[in-house]
Amino acid sequence: MQIEFELVTYDEELDRFELDETMYQIELSEDDAETYHLLKDSDLHLYNWLKESDFFTKYIKEEVYPDSENKKIAISDINGISFRRFYFFKVTSGDSHYEYFKKLYNIHEESDWQDREDVGEEILYHLSTKRKELILNLG
């Protein structure tokens, strides 16, 4: 089967991500297709599987970014499942992203309710390390 995916490029100097905006497609072997179906509801497991898969990295290096000296990228969407919030989350981002990260990072409210800015800062703090983990080094 085929899955679609989209990428972001990472500029290390500016510490910034940018959308590639191209919809790519990759063919999955039968085994890989099974793995995909198993993981497709589990978010970060899906991501890590694809990131660590040789067939995927090979495809990127050969077909997507052939001159990939020291290029750093990350995956923004896998077959419609979006990971963009990891790279582009801001303190002003919408509630759904807040709820996702509060759950992911177990951010309990200390008081009855916590200032959005405080929670946002805390999320960004966690993301500063997480983002690095999601990056693929093509160099």
Partner 1 sequence: MDNKYIDKMLSEMDKDLAKQGMSRRDAMKLAGITGAGMFMGGATSASAADENKTVKSNAKGKIVIVGGGLAGMSTAARLTLNLSDPDITVIEPQELSVSYQPGQTLVGGGIWDEDDIAYKRDDFVPDGVKIVKEKVILFNPQENKVTTDKGTVISYDYLILATGLHLDFERIRGLEEAGRAMSAGDNERLLKALGDDGICSIYTAKGATKTWEQMQKYIAQAKSGKKTKFLFTHPSTPVKCGGAPKKIMYLTNARLKEAGARENAELTFYPNGGAMFGIPEYHDAILGQFKREDFKWHYRHNLIEVDKKNKIAVFDAKWQEKGPWDPVLKDYEVIPKHEKVRVPYDFLHITPPQLAPREVAESDLGSAKGWVPVNKETLQHIRYENVFSLGDVAQVPMGKTGGSVRKQYKVLVDNLIALMNGKTLEAKYAGYTVCPLITDIGTVMLAEFDWTVKPTPSFPLDPTVERWMWWLMKVHALKPMTMYGMLSGRA
**Can you give the binding site for partner 1, defined by CB under 8 A?**
19, 82, 84-85, 88-97, 108-117
Angle at 65 between CA 4 and CA 24, to 5 degrees: 10
- Rank residues 67 and 95 by Cβ distance to partner 1 and give the closer one: 95
- Rank residues 62 and 109 by Cβ distance to partner 1 and give the closer one: 109
Residue pair 27/57 in contact (Cβ under 8 Å)? The answer is no
Q: For residue 86, what are the CA distances in angstroms to 5, 53, 113?
A: 16, 20, 24
* Cβ at position 23, least distance to partner 1 in Å: 15
- Rank residues 70 and 92 by Cβ distance to partner 1 and give the closer one: 92
- Rank residues 20 and 68 by Cβ distance to partner 1 and give the closer one: 20
* Cβ at position 20, least distance to partner 1 in Å: 12
* Cβ at position 79, least distance to partner 1 in Å: 16
* Cβ at position 109, least distance to partner 1 in Å: 6
What's the longest Cα–Cα distance across the chain?
53
